[in-house]
């Protein structure tokens, strides 16, 4: 019943060429550093990656870009990455830009078995082109479809052997949504705690969403924009 | 900071009412936070999953797990909370944010906003802007009145791809404040020494003038 | 900025005849006892009440039924209440039965600004009659619409003056969903704690969903089916 | 408990595999929990917002805030969790429950299920049954083979309003086990001394017989 694994290499070997992968994180905050590194080493190709951003040149999902492992990126903002720009302009990389709230909701819908939903977000913009429109409750909306992943990579703060997870501060971001929407979810945690140590009233990702759980060590947790108070 | 931007921020901060929930866009809008008077109890919402953004941390309190939507390290205010992005945008789309202040590239006379994409340039993405303009109770756009070539950014119709259609409630520039009403765009205030004539000269979009403003200028 | 109120009577006076009211609770577990009692005393009429169940004869929403304050009930299961049966059979009470998961999702959608969504739940059943059908991802679905309340009544375990709430165990149930979907949300808590005492990583209902917060005393917390282990 | 019900439960409990997430319906299915061998590590899901139902509490541990979907007081297992109803049905609809065992009134040869409503009788509501039959990875229905009048509850087509269309994977009665496959309903096992002939006699719906079962009877 334990989901604890010890080899990131073996866990990411579950991911096949051509898979759709949902990856937690916002910018470089709360990204599954270790699983991404293992996947970069593994070299799995033709991935469709769904994640709010695409890392930076030499970190996070940028590592997979550098290796040309990503065929298509689904994201809301990709402005922090030069390699991304090159591959996109050369036509190597397919890109689907999705408003952040719609992206979050589509991933949630994927985990929650809601095949599609209507939202006013994007009406009258290029995002709405080709999408079904419907007025509901007096509001013009467009139809958006759920996103499910063949696999999901998430990063949590603490987890137990059953796969219960808690996240810290804004490192939560897309992680719980990704965990639920992955058919095979690999969670990495900073700390493995005993079963029963996490308060059942305050578990962010209940155990049933997680298939593999690994403990990562020496997290870099790079900061994109360190801002401090002027003393 | 240019005095133009400073002027815009000074006027924009007056939009922020005590006891409200406010989302500030990345860039110039983020700077508004520094001008909110301490006696106003505001909860700043950050769409990456934080209600109650506090000031930037001291050097020793920098936490990679605690950032705002602009990816800057921040702190959390007492009584704040963290949540995932589905919840964060449920708050936005569901109308639970009282006020959003965002930057703009172009605004049309009917309140359309363009602020995410310039054709021919690398597309970076819209982030949460399309959700925010649809969901916030009040959407205030701040931008310079004209572009670098002195051309009006307030257009009859936006030339750039839209972020949202008929979504702007108020526009604040370095020269003027406009409201978008069912009967069209209305000039409410002239700012920083501009007069109605100057505003008319630098504004491509047609607008009407608030009666109170006409009266004031007549004096 | 404090949302703390002291009079349930005054708080429920916000609710008007004819309003739609979303009420937390599952069976008698986690119901807003005090606000319901105050509303029964107030006598507000022609209410549309959205809640998973409708209380029992002399407790919970059953009190509003007894007073004939409810015009229409939207629920998933109403089998525990004799008065309900009488009023339903006599045609006094309008009833909309909604599958429990669809009910939860419709209330969540109301709070989250999702006007409608597709679900496979109910396809091929009486629930699907008259609803728009669509095949998404190979799955036959029906369109369900969001539910918003003019007001919501919820019961939490602890709350602070800003309106942050936490719930206990299965008393959480529909309460966080109701809190978000009410345009005016009245939350009652067993304990008011100081601002900052609730851990920001573990708040179930963030403050912005709550308009009024009241402290209730001597909760009855009736149990419908007390089951104990045979020693 | 009647020996009929006891027999059904005894067979149904064999469906529960180690390390799985299981939702048990109200009534007879709930009782299956008492028969799950201790060496199997099962997480029982309760749709009112609990993963990891524990045994009934001792008298001193009864907690009004901790109930199952049948509104009975329960406990929580180590490693369990609580959540709201949207999350609970996200688990169900999203396919995160491995097995659901529910009671039935009628099952059709194509795997339709009716278990919530009898026209002319007071309608109590479907609760979570319609969501569960659509969402669980495997849906097992348990019911007596015939009604009080000895008539088959396994029908060519359900006469009662449906809970779900083509949703049943397996049906366990006091007499037989059927699977619902793309090529129709298949008799897999005969139980409690019944033989294929008896099953045929008491089953209105047409079905085929598993080869292995034919072989066994031929011996």
pLDDT tens, position by position, B87-109? 999 999 999 999 999 999 999 99
Looking up tokens 């991802």 gives C137
Tally B–C CB contacts below 8 A: 61
Compute CA distances B197 → A118, B194, C150, C219, D182, whole Å.
Answer: 45, 8, 46, 67, 77
Structure tokens at A32: 């599954």
At B169-190, the pLDDT tens digits run: 999 999 999 999 999 999 999 9
According to the model, what pLDDT value does residue D1 have? 63
| Model confidence band, residue D3 (pLDDT cutoffs 50, 70, 90) | confident
Query: What gap in Å lies between CA B33 and CA D13, rounded to an integer?
Result: 60
Residue A150's Cβ-count burial label (10 Å; 0-12, 13-18, 19+) is middle
Query: What gap in Å lies between CA B85 and CA C110, rounded to an integer?
Result: 17
At A154-190, the pLDDT tens digits run: 999 999 999 999 999 999 999 999 999 999 999 999 9
Residues within 8 A of D (CB atoms), A 85-124 only? 108, 110-114
Structure tokens at C142: 């029906």
Query: What gap in Å lies between CA D213 and CA C199, rounded to an integer?
Result: 60
Task: Taking residues C20-31, report their average pLDDT.
Answer: 98
Chain C residue nearest residue B86, CA to CA? C112
CB contact under 8 A, D83 and C172: yes
Residues within 8 A of A (CB atoms), D 75-104 only? 76, 78-83, 86-87, 89-97
Compute CA distances A61 → A80, A96, A167, B195, D129, whole Å.
Answer: 11, 16, 20, 51, 41
Query: What gap in Å lies between CA D184 and CA D192, rounded to an integer?
Result: 24
CB contact under 8 A, C137 and A145: yes
C135 at the D interface (CB within 8 A)? no
CB contact under 8 A, C168 and A136: no
At B114-167, the pLDDT tens digits run: 999 998 888 899 999 999 999 999 999 999 999 999 999 999 999 999 999 999
Looking up tokens 């839209």 gives B162
CB contact under 8 A, A170 and B92: no
**How many Å is the maximal CA-CA distance in chain B?**
57
Chain B residue nearest residue C147, CA to CA? B94
According to the model, what pLDDT value does residue C189 have? 98
| Model confidence band, residue D123 (pLDDT cutoffs 50, 70, 90) | confident
Residue D1's Cβ-count burial label (10 Å; 0-12, 13-18, 19+) is exposed
At A67-126, the pLDDT tens digits run: 999 999 999 999 878 899 889 889 999 999 999 999 999 999 999 999 999 999 999 999
Active site residue D47: yes
DSSP D148-176: TTS-BSEESS-SSPPSBSS--SEEE-SSE
Q: H or E segment at B144?
A: none
Mind listing the domains of chain A with CATH numbers? 8-114+146-215 (3.40.1080.10)
Q: How many CB atoms lie within 10 A of CB D147?
A: 12
Mutate to test the interface with B, among A52, A101, A167, A176 (most CBs of B within 10 A): A101
ipTM of the complex: 0.97
Give CA angle at C101 (C97, C104), nearest 5°. Answer: 85
CB contact under 8 A, A29 and B125: no
Compute CA distances B134 → A46, A61, C11, C150, D99, whole Å.
Answer: 35, 30, 30, 21, 41
Cα-based torsion angle of the residue sequence A166, A171, A172, A174 in order, rounded to the nearest 10 degrees = -140
Structure tokens at D195: 């033989």
At B11-26, the pLDDT tens digits run: 999 999 999 999 999 9
Cα-based torsion angle of the residue sequence B152, B158, B163, B167 in order, rounded to the nearest 10 degrees = 80
CB contact under 8 A, D85 and C125: no
CA atoms within 13 A on the CB side of D169: 15
Structure tokens at C209: 């969903």
CB nearest to C164's CB, from B41, B79, B94: B79
Residues of B in contact with C107 (CB under 8 A): none
Range of the domain at D154: 3-218
Q: Is pLDDT above 80 for C1?
A: no
Residues within 8 A of B (CB atoms), A 45-84 only? 52, 75-79
Pairing relationship of beta strands B106-108 and B154-155 according to DSSP bridges: parallel
According to the model, what pLDDT value does residue C29 have? 98
Looking up tokens 């509003």 gives C64
According to the model, what pLDDT value does residue B1 have? 63
Query: What gap in Å lies between CA D182 and CA C15, rounded to an integer?
Result: 53
Nearest-Cα distance to chain A for C163, in Å, is 18
pLDDT, chain A, mean: 97
| Model confidence band, residue A63 (pLDDT cutoffs 50, 70, 90) | very high
CB nearest to A114's CB, from C119, C134, C166: C119
Domain count for chain D: 1
Residues of B in contact with C195 (CB under 8 A): 78-79
Give CA angle at B60 (B56, B66), nearest 5°. Answer: 50
Do B49 and B82 contact (CB within 8 A), yes or no?
yes
Mutate to test the interface with B, among C149, C162, C178 (most CBs of B within 10 A): C162
Nearest-Cα distance to chain D for C211, in Å, is 21
At C91-139, the pLDDT tens digits run: 999 999 999 999 999 999 999 999 999 999 999 999 999 999 999 999 9
Q: Give φ, ψ of B50 to 5 degrees.
A: -145, 130
Comparing C84 with C170, which gets the higher pLDDT? C170
At B36-62, the pLDDT tens digits run: 999 999 999 999 999 999 999 999 999
DSSP C108-123: HHHHHT--EEEESTTT
Q: Is pLDDT above 70 for D69?
A: yes
Mutate to test the interface with A, among B117, B130, B159, B163 (most CBs of A within 10 A): B130
Query: What gap in Å lies between CA C85 and CA C63, rounded to an integer?
Result: 14
Q: Catalytic residue among D6, D17, D39, D47, which?
A: D47
The full 3-state SS of chain A, as one line of letters, equals CCCECCCHHHHHCCCCCCCEEEECCECCECCCHHHHHHHHHHCCCCEEEECCCCCECCECCHHHHHCCCEEEEEECCCCCCHHHHHHHHCCCCEEEECCHHHHHHHHHHHHHCCCEEEECCCCCCHHHCCCCEEEECCEEEEEEECCCECEEEEEEEEEECCCCEECCHHHCCCHHHHHHHECCEEEEEEEEECCCCCCHHHCCECHHHCCEEEECCCCCCCCCECCCCCC
Query: What gap in Å lies between CA C148 and CA C183, rounded to an integer?
Result: 7
Q: Which other chains touch chain B, taking contact as 3+ CB pairs less than 8 Å apart?
A: A, C
Residues of A in contact with C145 (CB under 8 A): 136-137
**Is there an interface between A and C (3+ Cβ pairs < 8 A)?**
yes
| Model confidence band, residue C231 (pLDDT cutoffs 50, 70, 90) | low
According to the model, what pLDDT value does residue C197 have? 98
pLDDT, chain D, mean: 95
Q: Is pLDDT above 80 for A146?
A: yes
Task: Taking residues D122-137, report their average pLDDT.
Answer: 95
Residue D38's Cβ-count burial label (10 Å; 0-12, 13-18, 19+) is exposed
Task: Taking residues A17-27, report their average pLDDT.
Answer: 98
Pairing relationship of beta strands D99-103 and D21-24 according to DSSP bridges: parallel
Looking up tokens 């501060």 gives A169
Residues with Cβ within 8 Å of D101's Cβ and at least 6 positions away in sequence, in order, are: D12, D15, D22, D23, D24, D25, D29, D32, D140, D141, D142
The full 3-state SS of B40-103, as one line of letters, equals CCCEEEECCCEEEEECCCCHHHCCCCCECCCCEECEEEEEEEECCHHHHHHHHHCCCCCEEEEE
Residues within 8 A of C (CB atoms), D 9-48 only? 46-48
Q: Is B188 helix (H, G, I), strand (E, B) or coil?
A: strand
CATH of the domain at D151: 3.40.1080.10
C223 at the B interface (CB within 8 A)? no
Structure tokens at B167: 């979504």
Query: What gap in Å lies between CA B206 and CA B155, rounded to an integer?
Result: 8
């Amino acid at each position: 019943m334990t989901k604890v694994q010890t080899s990131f290499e073996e866990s990411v070997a579950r991911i096949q060429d051509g898979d759709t992968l949902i990856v937690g994180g916002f910018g470089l905050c709360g990204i599954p550093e270790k699983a991404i590194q293992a996947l970069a080493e593994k070299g799995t190709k033709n991935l469709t990656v769904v994640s709010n951003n695409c890392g930076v040149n030499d970190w996070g999902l940028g590592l997979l870009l550098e290796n040309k492992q990503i065929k298509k990126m689904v994201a809301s903002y990709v402005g922090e990455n030069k390699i991304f720009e090159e591959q996109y302009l050369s036509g190597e990389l397919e890109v689907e830009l999705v408003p952040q709230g719609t992206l979050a909701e589509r991933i949630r819908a994927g985990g929650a078995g809601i095949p599609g939903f209507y939202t006013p977000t994007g009406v009258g913009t290029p995002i709405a082109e080709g999408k079904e429109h419907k007025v509901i409750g007096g509001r013009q909306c467009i139809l958006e479809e759920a996103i499910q992943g063949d696999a999901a990579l998430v990063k949590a703060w603490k987890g137990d052997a059953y796969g219960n997870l808690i996240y810290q501060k804004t490192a939560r971001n897309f992680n719980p949504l990704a965990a639920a929407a992955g058919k095979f979810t690999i969670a990495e945690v900073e700390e493995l705690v005993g079963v029963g140590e996490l308060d059942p009233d305050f578990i962010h990702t209940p155990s049933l969403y997680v298939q593999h759980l690994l403990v990562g060590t020496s997290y870099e947790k790079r900061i994109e924009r360190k801002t401090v108070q002027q003393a | 900071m240019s005095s133009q931007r400073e002027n815009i921020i000074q006027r924009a901060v007056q939009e922020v009412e005590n006891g409200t929930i406010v989302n500030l866009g990345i860039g110039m809008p983020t700077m508004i936070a520094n001008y909110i008077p301490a006696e106003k109890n505001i909860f700043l919402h950050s769409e990456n999953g934080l209600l109650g953004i506090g000031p930037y941390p001291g050097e020793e309190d920098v936490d990679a797990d605690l950032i705002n939507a602009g990816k800057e390290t921040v702190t959390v205010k007492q009584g704040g909370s963290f949540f995932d992005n589905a919840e964060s945008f449920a708050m936005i789309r569901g109308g639970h944010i009282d006020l959003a202040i965002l930057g703009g590239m172009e605004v049309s006379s009917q309140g359309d906003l363009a602020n995410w994409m310039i054709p021919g340039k690398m597309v970076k993405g819209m982030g949460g802007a399309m959700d925010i303009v649809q969901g916030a109770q009040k959407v205030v756009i701040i931008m310079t009145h004209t572009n670098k070539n002195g051309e009006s950014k307030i257009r009859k119709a936006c030339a750039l791809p839209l972020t949202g259609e008929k979504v702007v409630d108020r526009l604040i520039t370095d020269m003027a404040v406009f409201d978008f009403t069912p009967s069209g765009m209305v000039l409410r205030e002239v700012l920083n020494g501009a007069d109605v004539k100057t505003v008319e000269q630098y504004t491509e979009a047609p607008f009407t003038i608030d009666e109170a403003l006409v009266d004031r200028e007549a004096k």
